[in-house]
Amino acid sequence: MLLGITGRNAAGKTTIVEILVERGWTGCSCSDAIRSWLRDNGQEINRENLTQGGRTLRSEGGPGILAERLLDQIDPMIPTVIDSIRTPDEVKALRSRDSFRLIEVVASTDLRWKRMQIRGRSGDPTNYTSFLAQEDAEAVAENSAGQALDATAALADILIVNDSGMDNLNNAIDEIIESLGLI
């Protein structure tokens, strides 16, 4: 089984991956391909460089390149969850595996802003106006090298609304695993 996770910043994508990894899944991220490229090019790994690195890789290797690189590394016999799917072409590449399902995780803008402030990740916006500007910039791609979260979300097979605590999130994951026949 291969699951992909998409959604806006601080919606809970990484938390879902962590839960599945705790349950024995292998976890990875489309951003892993960018991190590797940044290291190879002697660049610091931060949000700005990850965003620009993703654009560079997509413009050089095509819009599905990050997912294509991951597929080369993923054993189809091991349940795997992929975080940070941000373009329709990444979804298209991952759909080459029959077992692939895309999960969109959503939460309200205000809740995601609060989560972002609490987690304090390097490169996260530090004011609400910047947060909203970043949201807009990632929603619709200006070209095939950019992020297109709205179009990617439209391809989701499964929706998780993550706005009511960890118990409900764990229950939602249990329901998905059961519905996919993985229990």
Between CA 68 and CA 148 the distance in angstroms is 17
Q: What is the dihedral of CA 169, 171, 175, 176, to 10 degrees?
A: 20
State the pLDDT at residue 147: 80
- Assess if CATH 3.30.1180.20 describes domain 2-179: no
Determine which helix (DSSP H) or strand (DSSP E) holds 112, and give its type and residue range.
helix 109-119
- Digit-by-digit pLDDT tens for the chain (183 residues) are 999 999 999 999 999 999 999 999 999 998 888 998 999 999 999 888 998 998 899 889 988 999 998 998 899 999 999 998 989 999 999 999 999 999 999 999 999 999 999 998 877 899 999 999 998 988 898 776 678 899 999 999 999 999 999 999 999 999 999 998 876
- Whole-model pTM: value is 0.88
Q: Do residues 182 and 1 lie in contact, with contact meaning Cβ atoms separated by under 8 Å?
A: yes
Cα distances (angstroms) measured from residue 40 to each of 4, 71, 112, 141: 26, 20, 32, 26
* Residue 126 half-sphere exposure toward CB, CA atoms < 13 A: 2
